[in-house]
Amino acid sequence: MRHHDLLIVGAGPVGLALALALKDCGYDIALADARDRLAARRDPRALALSHGSRLTLERLGIWAALNTTPIHTIHVSQQGGLGRTVIDHRDYDQAALGYVVAAGDLAAALGDALEATGIPILENCQVGALAPGVDDVIVNLGGEHSGNMRARLVACAEGGMQDGDPGIVRHDYHQHALITHARAAGGHRNTAYERFTPLGPLALLPNRDGFAIVHTVSPERAARLIALADDDYLVELQRAIGPRLKLTAVEARLRYPLGLRYRKQSVGERCVWLGNAAQTLHPVAGQGFNLALRDVWALVRQLRAAAASDPGAPALLMDYAAGRGLDRHGTIRFTDGLVRLFSNESDLLRHLRGAGLMGLDMLPPLRHFVAKRMMFGARAWP
């Protein structure tokens, strides 16, 4: 029976980052992915990377290989109400508040770097039942690598949140996101826009020659909008954005349902859950992948410190979970609170939101608190 110190389930950016960060720590590592090894490279979505995520990707040695678009300014407003705030990178002595990268490009850079290490990826390999014991976990594998494997620690970095699991909290926002790319007159000027509408947030992220769009609406409206011709959808998108910039063209659209799912506990017996296997967040404020990368780096520090001992030891995993509690649950509450506060048509809340946005603009300490959270997470690391 095959045996590894660490089995990473999922060869997307989160799993690849974990393996790459541990490449020189002496662990026997393998990755298993239900898809082929090129699947993650075909991901069309854009990711908003925080400044903290840039620091981690620099440590992994792949930042220079990425084609990123820096975000210098974030403009936040609401549709149908007063109030707006602007966050500028010059106020924080940073080259940028964040960066936008194609998810497929990030996976490619991480995958290329991992291939050079010789760490194996078992592609088209389904991971089934996990049977933890005193010293390791027996992992049932299907697909092209069917059989059993032993691992002292299993890190689940993709999927794994099954319906009916009492350890998982779920909330359906009754929203869908339309994902597309648009161009604007005058270009993007390295400005990101977060526009709150009664149907859900609308994000425009500077990307390539235009904007990566995440347009949140009700499921019924999403069905109508995705069926429109590009020119007709452009009219609807412009109406939601308002007059602050003029869109000139839009590309084809993809559609994703949105909900909140997270594990109450991110560790179990010789198992740790990371990324979408631990929590799936609403895309508002672009926190999901950045939180996942912070989880990865915290786990890496624990595993590096224990390189001569057992990577799946209960004390190690509990220390990791305790250290990540504030940031993890704080980020979940932050994104969930934004969606619930802004995705409604209450006149009272609209006025309160406007006052809040104006307060952010007029009170630098409060604005700095929000900016630091977006750049470094709830614990403002490093």
pLDDT in tens, 247-275: 999 999 999 999 999 999 999 999 999 99
Angle at which helices 288-305 and 13-21 cross, to 10°: 20
Q: What is the pLDDT of residues 317-344, one digit of tens each?
A: 999 999 999 999 999 998 898 888 776 6
Compare 348 and 244 and report the one with higher pLDDT: 244
Which of 76-85, 151-160, 167-176, 192-201 has the lowest average pLDDT? 76-85
Query: Residue 353: is its pLDDT beyond 70?
Result: no
pLDDT for 252: 92
In a domain, 147, yes or no: yes
pLDDT for 284: 84
pLDDT for 381: 38
- Nearest to 88, CA basis, from 70, 101, 102: 70
Domain that holds residue 300: 2-47+101-167+260-341
Rounded to the nearest integer, the mean pLDDT of the chain is 88
Buried b (16+ CB within 10 A) or exposed e, 42-70: ebeebbbbbbbbbbbbeebebbeebebbb
pLDDT for 220: 97
pLDDT for 351: 47
- Nearest to 193, CA basis, from 209, 205, 181, 177: 205
In a domain, 363, yes or no: no
Query: Residue 107: is its pLDDT beyond 50?
Result: yes
Residue 159: both structure tokens together:
């999927």
In a domain, 238, yes or no: no
CA distances from 228 to 200, 223, 316, 373 (A): 19, 9, 52, 37
Mean local confidence (pLDDT), 150-179: 90
In a domain, 214, yes or no: no
Which pLDDT band holds residue 175 (cuts at 50, 70, 90)? very high
pLDDT for 32: 96
Compare 308 and 187 and report the one with higher pLDDT: 187
In this structure, what CATH number is given to the domain that contains residue 18?
Answer: 3.50.50.60
Cis peptide bond prior to 382, omega within 30° of 0: yes
| Top-ranked range on mean pLDDT: pick from 42-46, 210-214, 281-285 | 210-214
Q: Give yes or no for a contact between 93 and 375, defined as CB atoms under 8 angstroms apart.
A: no
pLDDT for 281: 94
Compare 360 and 73 and report the one with higher pLDDT: 73
In a domain, 376, yes or no: no
In a domain, 246, yes or no: no
- The tally of domains found in the chain comes to 1
In a domain, 88, yes or no: no
Q: What is the pLDDT of residues 205-231, one digit of tens each?
A: 999 999 999 999 999 999 999 999 999
Which pLDDT band holds residue 100 (cuts at 50, 70, 90)? very high
Q: By three-state DSSP, how is residue 380 classified?
A: coil
Query: Residue 80: is its pLDDT beyond 60?
Result: yes
pLDDT for 380: 42
In a domain, 163, yes or no: yes
Which pLDDT band holds residue 292 (cuts at 50, 70, 90)? very high
Compare 138 and 308 and report the one with higher pLDDT: 138
Beta carbons within 8 Å of 208's beta carbon, 6+ residues apart: 69, 181
Mean local confidence (pLDDT), 85-100: 86
